Amino acid sequence: MSKLNGLLPYSRYLSLSLKASPRLPGVAVGNLRQLPCFVHSARWSTMSDTVGSDKGRRDNRHAGDGQGSPVAQVRHYPGSHRSSPGEEGLKARKRFLEISLEEKRQVYKCRDNYKTLNDVPTWPQYRKEHNIGLGIKPKADPNEKFNEKVSLWRGDITQLEIDAISNAANESLLGGGGVDGAIHSAAGPTLVKETATLGGCETGHAKLSGGHRLPAKYVLHAVGPIGQKPDKLEGCYKDCMALAKEHGLRSVAFPCISTGIFGYPNYPAGQVAIGYIRKWLETGDNADHMDRVIFCVFLEKDVQVYEELLPAFFPTEDDVKGDKEASADTA
C-alpha cells in the first residue's frame, strides 16, 4: 500500500473505512464526498457521543428510526484551504436568502408545484368550503381576527412558499425519517451542513436554520417528545412561535409533530398544537406579528382531528350562539 508522508490516499482510506465500520449505514456514504483528497485522521461515531443527555435516549432519538446517526469527525491535513461542511452550509443559507425569488424558484425540488400563502385558504374559507360544523363545545371566545390567521391545509409541507415551515426533527438535527427526511431531501445537502453547526436540540425545544432549496425561507426544527408528554410538545410550538416573532417571520406551517414514529396520539397532539397557537395569539401583541399559522396535515385521520378541534378553539359567533341554544334546550 502506497503512502505519501504518512497519509493514506482517499480512495484507499474510503475502502478501508467501509470495511472496518460495521456501524456505518449506506445512507451516510454520500457524506464522505465532503472529505478532502487525503485524510490524516477520522473517527466515526454517533451524535450521541457529542450531545449532552442520557446515552440510551440519545442513541434512540438521533436516528429518527432507532439507529445512531454516524458523523465523520475529520482533521484536514496541513495546508488545506477547503471550507468545512459547516462553513459551506452557512454560506449556502446566506446565498439562498439573498437571491431573487425568480432565481430560487429554479432550484425548487417541487418545480412549479409550490404553494404561496394566497393558495392556502384561511380557516373561515376552508370551513365554508368543506361545510364544517361545530363538533365539540367551544373552548374559546369568537374572534374573527384570530380565525383569519389560521389555516388547515392538506398537502406537502415542503411545497409551501412561506416564511418558515416547522420540521418534526430529532435531537441530532441531522435528518431522519418521515417529514424530517422529506424536508432535508427537498432542501438539498447544504441544509444538514448548516444544522450540523447547531449543536443538536433538546426535546421540547426548537432551533432555526435557513430553508436552502426549499420554497420556505427558513426551517424551525422542533424536537417533539416520544410518547404523550404535553409539556414537551407544547414547548416545541412555544419555541417555534418565539423564533418566528424574533426573526420577523409572519407565516409559519406546522406538521403534526410527534404523531409519527414518536407515538404521540393524534387527537391529544392536535389539542396541544391548536390550543397553544390560540393562546399565543391571545398573548400581548403576538397577533399583530403573525399573518398566518398553517396546520399542515397529510393523513385522513389528522384531517378529521383538526376539522373537529379547530371550530372549538377558533369558533364563530354562530357557533357560540348555537351552543348556548343547545345547552338551554337540554337544561
Q: Give the model confidence (pLDDT) of 22-41 as tens digits.
A: 333 333 333 333 333 322 22
Q: Which pLDDT belongs to residue 83? A: 66
Per-residue confidence (pLDDT) for residue 328, from 0 to 100: 58
Within a domain: 91: no
Q: What is the pLDDT of residues 165-188, one digit of tens each?
A: 999 999 999 999 999 999 999 999
CA distances from 271 to 227, 268, 305, 307, 310 (A): 15, 5, 9, 12, 9
To which residue does cell 465532503 refer?
Answer: 34
Asked if 178 and 274 sit in the same domain, the reply is: yes
Report yes or no on 95 lying in a domain: no
> For residues 37 and 137, which has the higher predicted lDDT (pLDDT)?
137
In terms of domains, do 195 and 238 share one?
A: yes
Decide if 218 contacts 210 (C-beta within 8 A).
yes
- Is 283 found in the same domain as 152? yes
Burial 53-78 (b: 16+ CB within 10 A, else e): eeeeebbbbbbbeeebbbbbebeebe
Contacts of 159 (CB under 8 A, 6+ apart): 110, 113, 114, 115, 215
Q: What is the mean pLDDT of residues 227-251?
A: 99
Residue 20 has pLDDT above 80, yes or no: no
Separation of alpha carbons 48 and 33, rounded Å: 23
Question: Which whole number is the average pLDDT over 300-305?
Answer: 98
Residue 8 has pLDDT above 90, yes or no: no
Residues 275 and 309 in one domain: yes
Cell of 88: 459551506
- Has residue 120 been placed in a domain? yes
The verdict on 226 and 110 lying in the same domain is: yes
Residue 107 pairs in a beta bridge with none
Would residue 277 count as lying in a domain? yes
Evaluate whether residue 35 is within a structural domain.
yes
Shared-domain flag, residues 74 and 204? no
- What is the rounded distance in angstroms from the CA atom of residue 123 to the CA atom of residue 146? 10
Residues 289 and 321 reside in one and the same domain: yes
Helices assigned H by DSSP within the chain: 10-20, 55-63, 85-98, 101-105, 123-130, 144-147, 178-187, 189-195, 230-246, 266-282, 300-313, 317-330
Q: Per the domain annotation, does 224 fall within a domain?
A: yes
Domain count, the chain: 2
- By the 8 A CB rule, do 228 and 264 touch? yes
What whole-number distance in Å separates Cα of residue 222 and Cα of residue 208? 9
- Whether 77 and 105 map to the same domain: the answer is no
What percentage of the chain's residues is helix, strand, coil (to nearest 5)?
45, 15, 35
* 255: containing domain: 101-326
**Residue at a domain's end among 48, 81, 114:** 81
What's the length of the chain?
A: 331
Co-location of 76 and 105 in the same domain: no
Same domain as 300, residue 183: yes
Are 171 and 305 in a shared domain? yes
Output the nine-digit C-alpha cell for 110. Answer: 417541487
Residue 10 neighbours by CB under 8 Å, 6+ apart: 35, 36, 37, 38, 39
pLDDT in tens, 247-274: 999 999 999 999 999 999 999 999 999 9
**CATH code, 269:** 3.40.220.10
From CA 271, how far away is CA 234, in angstroms rounded? Answer: 10
Query: Which of 49, 81, 113 corresponds to the end of one domain?
Result: 81
Name which residue leads in pLDDT, 309 or 74. Answer: 309
In whole angstroms, give the CA distance from residue 64 to residue 33: 23
> Does residue 90 lie within any of the structural domains?
no
Say if residue 58 is in the same domain as residue 189. no
Please indicate, yes or no, if residue 274 is contained in any of the structural domains: yes
Domain's final residue, options 81, 114, 143: 81
List 153's β-bridge partners, or say none: 296
